[in-house]
Structure 1
Amino acid sequence: MLPIPFLLLLLSSSILSPSSAADFCVADLSLPTTPAGFSCKKESTVTISDFVFSGLGATGNTDNIIKAAVTPAFSSQFPGLNGLGISTIRLDIEIDGVVPLHTHPAASEVLLVTQGAILAGFISSSNSVYYKTLYEGDLMVFPQGLLHFQVQCGSSPAVAFATFNSPDPGLQITSLSLFGSSLPSQLVEKVTFLDDAQVKKLKKVLGGTG
Structure 2
Amino acid sequence: MAASAILFITLAFLNCIRFSLAFDPRPLQDICVAPALGLATSTCKDPRLVTANDFYMTGLDRPGPFNAYGVTFVVASVPTMPGLNTQGQLFLRAELAPNGYFPPHIHPRASELTYVMEGAVEVGFVTSFPDYKYYSKVLNKGDAFIFPVGLVHTVQNVARGKSVTTSSLNSQNPGFIFLPDSLYAAKPPINSSYLARASKLDENTVKYLQTKMWFG
Q: Would the TM-score normalized by the shorter structure come out above 0.5?
A: yes
Secondary structure of 1:205's aligned partner: coil
Equivalent position of 1:29 in the other structure: 36
Equivalent position of 1:41 in the other structure: 45
Question: Is there any run of 5+ residues in structure 1 with no aligned partner, and where?
Answer: 1-20
Among 57, 64, 74, the alignment partner of 2:61 is 57
Contact 1:60 1:92 survives alignment (8 Å): no
- Residues of 2 paired with 1:153 and 1:70: CA distance? 18
Amino acid at match of 2:175: G
Query: How do 1:22-171 and structure 2 match up within 5 A?
Result: 22-29=29-36, 37-62=41-66, 64-125=67-128, 126-171=131-176
Across the aligned residues of Structure 1 and Structure 2, the Cα RMSD in angstroms comes to 1.6
Q: CA deviation at 1:38?
A: 4.8
- Residues of 2 paired with 1:90 and 1:73: CA distance? 9
Q: CA deviation at 1:200?
A: 2.1
Runs of 4+ that moved beyond 3 A = none
Secondary structure of 1:175's aligned partner: helix
Contact 1:28 1:38 survives alignment (8 Å): no
The TM-score normalised by the length of structure 2 is 0.79
The TM-score normalised by the length of structure 1 is 0.82
Secondary structure of 2:137's aligned partner: strand
Q: Equivalent pairs: percent with the same residue?
A: 32
Residues 91-111 of structure 1: CA deviation (Å, up to 9, x unaligned): 111111110100001100000
Secondary structure of 2:157's aligned partner: strand
For this pair of structures, how many residues does the alignment match? 183
- Residues of 1 paired with 2:65 and 2:180: CA distance? 21
Q: CA deviation at 1:43?
A: 0.5
Question: Is there any run of 5+ residues in structure 2 with no aligned partner, and where?
Answer: 1-27
Contact 2:113 2:146 survives alignment (8 Å): yes
